[in-house]
Chain A
Amino acid sequence: MSNAEFKSGLVAAIPSLRAFAVSLTGKPDRADDLVQETMMKAWAAQASFEPGSNLKAWLYTILRNEFYSYYRKRKREVEDADGKIAASVGTQPEQDSHMNFGDMQAALLRLPGDQREALLLVTASDLSYEEAAEICGVAIGTIKSRVNRARARLAELLDTKDAAEFSVAPTIAAALAAKV
């Protein structure tokens, strides 16, 4: 695969990678940083990509590894026991039109991390169970189980939680990020 082809593949994957990153982090700024790091890692590892294999799945694997690597490091560095960081970034949605987006974002962040990523990969990113299992390094049955539990929990959250509660999404995101 030429540099031009590889670059074209990366450009085409950016929107999906950003959506996955926003869903994982709950923070658009952090998501773009994550995508940028993924691009750089992917470019550096270009020789290890097998032409003909699934570039999108390969990029998702890199992004996921970067995400967990970042939060493992952050967990060691950040203590937010009194919630000061979370409180500092808490904001209210500026417009009602953003409420549904915030609802989903907040609900996703309430799912356990392993369930959230499985649901995002299979349901939103259109990857197969097999591809999701390979990305997450678990058995296909585990992915199916996580997706089912995540969908059930997400349905519950979206049906039972009102908009006012979901409007604190950034605070939840910050609190979760500090604990991951």
Chain B
Amino acid sequence: MNFPNDSKKKRLGQAASGAYVEDAVGERLRSFYTEITDQKVPQHLLDLLDALDNASSAQTPPSVKK
């Protein structure tokens, strides 16, 4: 994964403003998160929800099914 601000950060060095450093941290953290959220949702989690939904539907009397 690339972090676009890395080179800029190196140019600015440790003397960069606190605000910039916070922004860089936030950006890297969001990149980290995005790498996970972009992954395919595990099928077993979707299957689990289907199973829970089916079980609920089976237990609900037809007249009050939503």
Contacts and interface: CB of A to CB of B under 8 A. Distances in A.
B32 A11 contact: no
Please classify the interface of chain A as helix (H, G, I), strand (E, B), loop, or mixed, using the class held by over half of its residues. Answer: helix
Size bin of chain B's contact surface: 20 to 34
Contacts, number: 85
B35 A101 contact: yes
A19 interface: yes
Interface residues of A, number: 34
13 contacts: A4-B66, A11-B49, A15-B37, A18-B41, A40-B52, A43-B52, A100-B2, A101-B32, A123-B30, A124-B29, A124-B33, A125-B33, A155-B21
Interface of B: 1-3, 14, 21-22, 24-26, 28-33, 35-39, 41-42, 44-46, 48-49, 52-53, 56-57, 66
Interface of A: 2-4, 7, 10-11, 14-16, 18-19, 22-23, 32, 35-36, 39-40, 43, 97, 100-101, 104-105, 119-120, 123-125, 151, 154-155, 158-159
